[in-house]
């Protein structure tokens, strides 16, 4: 017997993915969906008067939608012999539903089940991702609201710039997540149904089945779509639905990957500054050699997986571009890998982001210390204006403070000392008129502009409306449990 550990197993399912998403792309779900589609086709054909489809046949099909271990074994043997997975499963289904064996797959081509089945799973996958994404947006929004007024150093080029707030910075992350919500929603809403289109999309086999009755063929197409839960049919197809649909879906997911990578990178930078950290469990080990370390491993994993997610859009683009005429089969193997991996990877990233946002750790004292190391330089313009209000000369004040600033900067950069600009100002007679005002001139909250108000407006006018359709989802507490 082969040891389970002697075969490669994808870490997407063995280590990371949620049970819901892993199940969605499982063989059990795939072949259940095929059987459901064969049932829907038989029901619609029976409704439209095709003979030979009995009620007993329908009942047998309904009773055996879920595959047993034996069904899988029978199909595997048949596929090895026939080199055709769809016909192997037609055979296996017919064995457990013998009264239907003669009419299963009637008039259809393989893409009836493979393509329509993929569309069903893709739409369900997008729904799962949207629910997870809204939960992440909600958690980040609560974080932004909580820290909307906490001043922090803003950075441009990762060099200290003007102050912002911890909450205002989080809105930059949330805004991109809202765009991902929009993009993934569009992709989901645009999913149609291939329907019953035949071998090259002409519906010739169904036209023959209905003795040339075009109306019945159109009714069949609509009825099967309806039974399968779709309102919209693609009006024309080749043998397959256009692989440009896959492009639209994977582009939306890959775009989300770039958002997640940016967010996780920002948190990693802040973790290095010891201002904000991701959760760190009591027994977690940061390094095998350095016991003191608290590595941002969740954010690093987000970045690692996001890189993979971002490149998967290229698979869809390349596959669509080489589909000759009505179709070629060089799409199949690629799609079996790229589509499930895109959904599983996006699912894992969202689980990680939810876990991170549920346990954010903020260190206000560290943030304050970093501010005070830079704020004296940022406050020089306020100090100049205060001196001018007391009757001083702007040019003279500018020169006085320029000299002191360079001396303080030398202490910081060349001697590794703290910024002592304010102490220098307090000991320089020229600045005596404003000594008592220095504390108020250096209050960080006077340097954050409209950050708190921007957070309030953003959450009220943009986040709340976007999350409103998901109110019931958000009421259901669903904590993420990471395997590793």
Please write the tens of the pLDDT for every residue from 324-377.
998 898 888 888 999 999 999 999 999 999 999 998 999 999 999 999 888 888
Indicate if 317 and 176 belong to the same structural domain. yes
Span 165-188, average pLDDT: 97
Catalytic-residue membership of 157: yes
Which string of b and e fits 439-461 if b means at least 16 CB within 10 Å? eebbebeebbeebbebbeebbee
Catalytic-residue membership of 287: yes
Span 53-73, average pLDDT: 94
Would you say 254 and 311 are in contact if contact means Cβ atoms under 8 Å apart? yes
What mean pLDDT is reported for the chain? 91
Pairing relation of β-strands 276-277 and 361-362? antiparallel
Indicate if 58 and 99 belong to the same structural domain. yes
Q: Which residue has the higher pLDDT, 39 or 476?
A: 39
Q: What is the value of pTM for the model shown?
A: 0.89
Q: Give the CATH number for residue 384.
A: 1.10.40
Q: Give the CATH number for residue 468.
A: 1.20.200.10
Indicate if 71 and 129 belong to the same structural domain. no
Span 284-307, average pLDDT: 73
Domain for residue 80, yes or no? yes
> At residue 287, does pLDDT exceed 50?
no
**Which pLDDT value is given to residue 290?**
47
Indicate if 273 and 352 belong to the same structural domain. yes
Domain for residue 7, yes or no? no
Would you say 108 and 41 are in contact if contact means Cβ atoms under 8 Å apart? yes
Per-residue pLDDT band at 312 (split at 50, 70, 90)? very high
> At residue 187, does pLDDT exceed 50?
yes
pLDDT cut 90: percent of the chain above it:
68
> At residue 294, does pLDDT exceed 80?
no
Indicate if 55 and 124 belong to the same structural domain. no
Nearest residue to 123 (alpha-carbon basis) of 24, 258, 200: 24
Indicate if 348 and 407 belong to the same structural domain. no
Nearest residue to 266 (alpha-carbon basis) of 134, 357, 358, 374: 357
Would you say 305 and 254 are in contact if contact means Cβ atoms under 8 Å apart? no
Reported as a single tens digit per residue, the pLDDT across 425-468 is: 888 888 888 888 888 888 889 889 999 999 999 999 999 999 99
Look at residue 360 and give its three-state secondary structure. Answer: coil
Indicate if 101 and 124 belong to the same structural domain. no
Q: At what angle do helices 27-47 and 110-146 cross, to 10 degrees?
A: 120
Last residue of a domain, one of 90, 106, 122: 106
Across 8-12, 28-32, 411-415, which has the greatest mean pLDDT?
28-32
Residue 277: how many CA atoms within 13 Å on its side-chain side? 15
Give, for 164, the enclosing helix (H) or strand (E). Answer: strand 159-165
Q: Which residue has the higher pLDDT, 437 or 478?
A: 437
Indicate if 272 and 297 belong to the same structural domain. yes
- DSSP letter for 433, please: G
Reported as a single tens digit per residue, the pLDDT across 244-268 is: 999 999 999 999 999 999 999 999 9
Give, for 105, the enclosing helix (H) or strand (E). Answer: none
Domain for residue 216, yes or no? no
Indicate if 189 and 50 belong to the same structural domain. no
Look at residue 162 and give its three-state secondary structure. Answer: strand
Question: Domain range holding 312?
Answer: 111-146+166-193+241-366+463-475
Choice among 14, 287, 304, 410 that is catalytic = 287
Indicate if 326 and 280 belong to the same structural domain. yes
Indicate if 76 and 184 belong to the same structural domain. no
Last residue of a domain, one of 91, 106, 121: 106
Counting the structural domains of the chain, the total is 3
Counting Cβ atoms within 10 Å, is residue 321 exposed (0-12), middle (13-18) or buried (19+)?
exposed
């Amino acid at each position: 017997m082969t040891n389970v550990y002697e075969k490669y197993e994808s870490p997407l399912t063995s280590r990371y993915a949620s049970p819901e998403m892993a199940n969605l792309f499982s063989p059990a779900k795939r072949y259940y969906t095929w059987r459901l589609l064969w049932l829907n086709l038989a029901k619609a054909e029976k409704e439209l008067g095709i003979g030979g489809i009995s009620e007993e046949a329908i009942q047998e099909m309904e009773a055996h939608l879920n595959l047993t271990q034996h069904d899988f074994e029978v199909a595997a043997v048949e596929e090895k012999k026939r080199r055709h997975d769809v016909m192997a499963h037609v055979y296996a289904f017919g064995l457990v539903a013998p009264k239907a064996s003669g009419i299963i797959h009637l008039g259809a081509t393989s893409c009836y089940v493979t393509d329509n089945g993929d569309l069903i799973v893709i739409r369900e996958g997008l729904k799962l991702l949207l629910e997870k994404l809204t939960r992440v947006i909600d958690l980040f929004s609560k974080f932004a609201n909580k820290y909307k007024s906490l001043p922090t150093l803003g950075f441009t080029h990762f060099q200290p710039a003007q102050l912002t707030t911890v909450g205002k910075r989080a809105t930059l992350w949330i805004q991109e997540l809202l765009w991902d919500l929009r993009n993934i929603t569009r992709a989901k809403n645009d999913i149609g149904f291939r329907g019953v289109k035949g071998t090259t999309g002409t519906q010739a086999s169904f036209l023959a089945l209905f003795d040339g009755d075009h109306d019945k063929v159109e009714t069949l197409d609509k009825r099967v779509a309806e039974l399968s839960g779709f309102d919209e049919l693609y009006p024309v197809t080749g043998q397959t639905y256009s692989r440009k649909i896959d492009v639209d879906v994977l582009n939306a997911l890959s775009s989300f990957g770039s958002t997640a990578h940016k967010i996780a990178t920002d948190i990693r930078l802040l973790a290095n500054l010891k201002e904000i950290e991701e959760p760190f469990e009591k027994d977690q080990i940061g390094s095998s050699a350095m016991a003191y370390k608290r590595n941002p491993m969740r954010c690093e994993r987000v970045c690692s997986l996001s890189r993979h997610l971002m490149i998967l859009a290229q698979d869809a683009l390349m596959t669509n571009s080489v589909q000759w005429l009505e179709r070629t089969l060089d799409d199949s193997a690629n799609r079996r890998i790229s589509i499930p991996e895109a959904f599983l990877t996006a699912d894992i990233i969202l689980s990680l982001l939810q876990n991170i946002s549920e346990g954010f750790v903020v260190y206000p004292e560290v943030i304050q210390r970093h501010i005070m190391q830079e704020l004296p330089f940022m406050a020089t313009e306020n100090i100049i204006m205060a001196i001018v209000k007391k009757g001083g000369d702007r040019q003279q004040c500018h020169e006085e403070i320029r000299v002191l600033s360079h001396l303080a900067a030398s202490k910081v950069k060349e001697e590794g000392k703290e910024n002592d600009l304010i102490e220098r100002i307090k000991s320089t007679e020229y600045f005596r008129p404003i000594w008592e005002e220095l504390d108020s001139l250096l209050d960080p909250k006077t340097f954050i502009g409209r950050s708190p108000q921007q957070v309030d407006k953003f959450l009220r006018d943009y986040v709340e409306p976007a999350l409103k359709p998901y109110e019931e989802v958000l009421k259901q507490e669903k904590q993420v449990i990471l395997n590793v």
